[in-house]
Amino acid sequence: MTKNALVTGGSGGIGNAICLKLAQAGYHVLIHYYSNKEAATATLEKINGHEGSAELIQFDVTRQDEVKNALQSWKETHQEEYISVLVNNAGISKDVLMVWMEREDWSKVIDTNLNSFYYVTTPLLQDMVVNKFGRIINIVSLSGVKGLPGQTNYAAAKAGVMGATKALAQEVGRKKVTVNAIAPGYIRTEMTKNLDEKELKRLIPANRFGTPEEVAEVVAFLASEGAAYITGEVIHVNGGLYT
């Protein structure tokens, strides 16, 4: 049976690295995107260029019916297979102090980062349980662990996913389905390109920002058989930054 892995937000910086790493590990990767087809296609071409296996899948993670229909369509054309690894990576931030935060800034971040966890995970969970193997890996954030000013919405969403991770892990552990989260700190991506790395790295014991590839390494490990006894955990990839 083909090993299938779905990476939401697969066209982004961290998502791209995760897709490439899972393809190297022998997975057929479903590279999810919503609007940035060009970046998703570039990831697909990289995987194909290294003799990996991948395909694109498009849906809006904030629309439950759209998610359900896209995953159902995939299943109908792959009836003997199932998605055994899910990486919930899609996310956005709309940073603003809460005193000036509009309702839309709150709702859009909660929908994309938290509600999407429910929308995408639910349709795939039953197959993992029936087949007695599954890996659910949620990309959260340092912001959800300690909170960061200007990110009340983002911190709330990521903290919510961490709580859901711990609860779901207890529900499906007996079925050999693990559920973990990875909390990156400052990683060099499009989302952090406007931050002052020279100033911020002084706060980081490792004295630098991390790379998407360093996050992807942890994802690949959690997806492997070697991580079968790790579940309900939040693993920090932040260079030692906690305060």
Active site residues: 154
**Angstrom distance (rounded) from CA 111 to CA 157:** 8
Specify the amino acid at residue 158: K
Q: Pick from 85, 82, 71, 89: which is nearest to 26 by CA?
A: 85
Q: What are phi and psi of 169, to 5 degrees?
A: -55, -35
The three-point CA angle 174-126-114 to 5° equals: 95
Query: Which SS3 state, helix, strand or coil, does residue 61 take?
Result: coil
Q: Pick from 71, 161, 60, 148: which is nearest to 108 by CA?
A: 60
The three-point CA angle 125-130-131 to 5° equals: 100
**Angstrom distance (rounded) from CA 41 to CA 27:** 17
Q: What are phi and psi of 47, to 5 degrees?
A: -65, -45
C-alpha separations of 110 from 20, 162, 192 in Å: 28, 13, 20
Within a 13 Å sphere around the CA of 113, how many CA atoms are in the beta-carbon half? 27
Sheet hosting strand 134-139, strand order edge to edge? 53-58, 28-33, 4-7, 83-88, 134-139, 177-184, 234-237
